[in-house]
Amino acid sequence: MIQNFQGMARRLGQLLRKEGITNERVLAVIESLPRHLFMPESLAHKAYENTALPIGNGQTISQPLMVATMTQLLMQHDCSKVLEIGTGSGYQTAVLARLIPEVYSVERIAELQYQAKRRLKQLDLHNVKMRHGDGWQGWASRAPFDGIIVTAAAREIPEQLLQQLSDGGVMIIPVGEQRQQLYVVRRFGDHFEQKQLGDVRFVPLVPGALA
Ligand code: SAH
């Protein structure tokens, strides 16, 4: 059992500052969230290291620096309704829930989705709607979203997700297979502008069938 996570979470925040994260609201959330609750108890002693960790079903909880980087990118825009693809542990979802009024999250593995839902409830985060579904399809009935954040690597940018962005909206998404790049895509009417921000490493955004 981790008793005093606050000190460890603050040290993680310091490390993220050194790595270039500057958004104080994002840092404050990471410094106050119990990341150890988002993983198997046997790994909890590593929860405040800057590393991705296995969460079962062949998936991982993303590295804190990547969560902070993607959240900071999103926060540069005025987002009040955000869609996350790939709930996984729910940690990124919880970070978003503390910063953004309305959060939607889609996960294809039912067991992970169930656990994430329980964790968010335990933390009193009630502004999140979750769905067991295929992220390639997004969540059309709840669209449009001012922000979309994809936490698994897509072999190409999913067309459905582009269509679910609001005018002026922003999508943060890792794209590629062997070699992946983090993309920021902005929508201006029917026109999309994309920027590549460098190499990243994510589990794949699996096409099709649910698990
Ligand atoms: N944000 C999560 C990242 C988990 S890893 C965290 O930090 O815990 C990526 C997640 O995307 C996995 O849980 C995986 O099951 C999910 N995923 C992969 N392909 C998907 C798809 N097509 N639709 C929805 N979720 C998907």
Each residue's pLDDT tens digit in the chain (211 positions)?
A: 677 899 999 999 999 999 999 999 999 999 999 999 999 999 999 999 999 999 999 999 999 999 999 999 999 998 999 999 999 999 999 999 999 999 999 999 999 999 999 999 999 999 999 999 999 999 999 999 999 999 999 999 999 999 999 999 999 999 999 999 999 999 999 999 999 999 999 999 998 778 8
Identify the H or E element spanning 167.
Answer: strand 165-176
Nearest CA to 67 out of 23, 106, 113, 120 is that of: 23
Catalytic residue status for 62: yes
Give the β-pairing of 53-56 and 102-107. unpaired
From CA 44, how far away is CA 8, in angstroms rounded?
12
> With respect to CATH, is domain 50-200 assigned 3.30.70.1060?
no
pLDDT in tens, 67-76: 999 999 999 9
152 lines ligand 1 (CB under 6 A): yes
66 lines ligand 1 (CB under 6 A): no
Determine the distance separating the centroid of ligand 1 and the alpha carbon of 119, expressed in angstroms.
16
| pLDDT tens profile 34-75 | 999 999 999 999 999 999 999 999 999 999 999 999 999 999
> What are the backbone angles phi and psi of residue 147, rounded to the nearest 5°?
-145, 140
Distance, CA of 88 to CA of 114 (rounded, Å): 10
> 64 in ligand 1 pocket by Cβ < 6 Å?
no
* 3-state helix, strand and coil shares in percent for the chain, rounded to the nearest 5: 35, 30, 35
187 CB within 6 A, ligand 1:
no
Rounded Cα–Cα distance for residues 189 and 168 (Å):
8
Catalytically annotated residue among 62, 80, 105, 166:
62
- Order of strands across the sheet that contains 191-200: 128-132, 102-107, 81-85, 145-150, 165-176, 180-188, 191-200
